[in-house]
Chains A and B, each alone.
Chain A
């Protein structure tokens, strides 16, 4: 049979020789291997003190972005919800009233914007689909919680603080 990779090794089915039957050389070799691991770099990190750096392409928790003046970028176009393969995003659009120009960037905005983190698969399609640069995936992961309902993130959980007022 042709092997798929060049790493295939034929199985040695010869009866064991006397030295092999002693097992002691094999045991000694195994002990050598474990001894080497004693001095290897640890694969784990002491978590709360040290945190592992994320890779640059890490897709973490979503944030809803604001523009320089602190206005919400999202126009509730729904493209993220359409792009979402897990159907985790729901939203309701509303129209901007006069006097709310400092709150919302365009005439339409998301009155309700929810991401169900239990459904989300962090594929990043929402980020790619967004034409307004409103939804981004940050470098944090969702904190643990005791109730399923707390995993449905609303706007108050997702919106980043206003760069002007800081809230």
Chain B
């Protein structure tokens, strides 16, 4: 009978947590669009959106409303099923990674330990790789289903870009795994809580991961899949209204999630310096930790935007050369150096 008995509270707790994390990602992604426009404006000495509400804070709602009410066009010769599937995959995949990110330590509610992590799987990083690798399907299917040569070309480019940058990203993470000795993100954070942040041990690895994260999110200077100059707009050329919105939205969710990942893996996640000597109640500490993580994430998102409005876009051959001839050897070197250090320390 013990096999059949279901811990309903556990399920409810996880459902609530999933809903909360999804809502958080959606709201952050929504306001990232606003933030992006504001940052762009500030960097270009403008004001940015300031009409809808205070400081233009209702702008994302207006944009969303516009996208929903726009005419939806599905090209006649496109594969309708795949055409709808493309943006859906992009969106779902973007949201999925949030499951293994520890958003905070445990809360104690009514005697129950509630972990602020949807799934503390011991293969967290592998899961992230599996999911991020699927992100390319959204773009690829979207470009293919449009039945448009230009979208197809752009999506092929996007696919090869994402695959090329997945490799150094993985290699950079392998070095991190060698250092931490675990695949569970929660444990990685706990290690940084009591020691130094991983960025001090893995600066090169972090740099490689950062560059690859930019490329994986299709953010400038690696936003070649959105090739409006040479391929009329990129893989989402044929998309309109909310389906286009999904593609764009997925980009912002990706940005949020990869910011959270970077904060978790290299910048201590929900741990902040001196958190264990504050002497506040564990619940409050968990909440503080969540805010610490959130601030780190917001800083990373700002960094993404800052870079976008500073650096010009790469040329495609430059992009490929950077990925294969610079980042992969660097990541391999980093792996080697980490391996040697770990071996030396444990001898």
**Using Cβ atoms and an 8 Å threshold, which residues of chain B touch A27?**
310-311
**Using Cβ atoms and an 8 Å threshold, which residues of chain A touch B47?**
42, 44, 46
Check A37–B43 contact: CB distance below 8 A.
Answer: yes
Asked if A4 lies at the interface with its beta carbon under 8 angstroms from chain B, I say no
**Using Cβ atoms and an 8 Å threshold, which residues of chain B touch A34?**
43, 306, 309-310
Asked if A41 lies at the interface with its beta carbon under 8 angstroms from chain B, I say yes
**Chain A count of residues within 8 A CB distance of the other chain:** 14
**Using Cβ atoms and an 8 Å threshold, which residues of chain B touch A30?**
310-311
Contact residues of A: prevailing secondary structure: helix
Complex Cα–Cα for A40 and B43 (A): 9
* The residue from B42, B50, B307, B311 contacting A38, defined by CB atoms under 8 A apart: B42
Asked if B7 lies at the interface with its beta carbon under 8 angstroms from chain A, I say no
**Using Cβ atoms and an 8 Å threshold, which residues of chain B touch A37?**
42-45
Which chain B residue has the least Cβ–Cβ distance from A39?
B42
Asked if B66 lies at the interface with its beta carbon under 8 angstroms from chain A, I say no
Asked if B46 lies at the interface with its beta carbon under 8 angstroms from chain A, I say yes
Which chain A residue has the least Cβ–Cβ distance from B51?
A46
- Known A-B contacts A27-B311, A31-B306; the reply to A38 vs B46 at CB < 8 A is no
Asked if A16 lies at the interface with its beta carbon under 8 angstroms from chain B, I say no
Check B310–A31 contact: CB distance below 8 A.
Answer: yes
Check A41–B306 contact: CB distance below 8 A.
Answer: no
Check A35–B306 contact: CB distance below 8 A.
Answer: yes
Which chain A residue has the least Cβ–Cβ distance from B312?
A30
**Using Cβ atoms and an 8 Å threshold, which residues of chain A touch B306?**
31, 34-35
Enumerate A88-120 residues with CB–CB distance to B below 8 Å.
none
Asked if A11 lies at the interface with its beta carbon under 8 angstroms from chain B, I say no
Nearest CB in chain A: distance from B235 CB, A: 27
Complex Cα–Cα for A151 and B309 (A): 40
Nearest CB in chain B: distance from A132 CB, A: 45
Complex Cα–Cα for A38 and B47 (A): 10
Nearest CB in chain A: distance from B315 CB, A: 14
**Using Cβ atoms and an 8 Å threshold, which residues of chain A touch B50?**
46
Complex Cα–Cα for A26 and B117 (A): 39
Nearest CB in chain A: distance from B92 CB, A: 34
Which chain A residue has the least Cβ–Cβ distance from B46?
A44
Nearest CB in chain B: distance from A57 CB, A: 25
Check A40–B45 contact: CB distance below 8 A.
Answer: yes
User: Please, what's the 1-or-0 string for B72-114, where 1 marks a CB less than 8 Å from any CB in chain A?
Assistant: 0000000000000000000000000000000000000000000
Complex Cα–Cα for A43 and B43 (A): 11
Nearest CB in chain A: distance from B121 CB, A: 35
Complex Cα–Cα for A76 and B216 (A): 72
**Using Cβ atoms and an 8 Å threshold, which residues of chain A touch B307?**
31
Enumerate A19-63 residues with CB–CB distance to B below 8 Å.
27, 30-31, 33-35, 37-38, 40-44, 46
Nearest CB in chain B: distance from A124 CB, A: 31
Check A42–B43 contact: CB distance below 8 A.
Answer: no
Which chain B residue has the least Cβ–Cβ distance from A38?
B42
**Using Cβ atoms and an 8 Å threshold, which residues of chain B touch A44?**
45-47
* The 7 residue pairs across chains A and B that have the minimum distance between CB atoms: A43-B45, A34-B310, A38-B42, A34-B43, A44-B46, A30-B310, A37-B43
Q: List 13 A-B contacts (CB under 8 A).
A: A30-B310, A31-B306, A33-B310, A34-B43, A34-B310, A38-B39, A38-B42, A42-B45, A42-B47, A43-B45, A44-B46, A44-B47, A46-B47
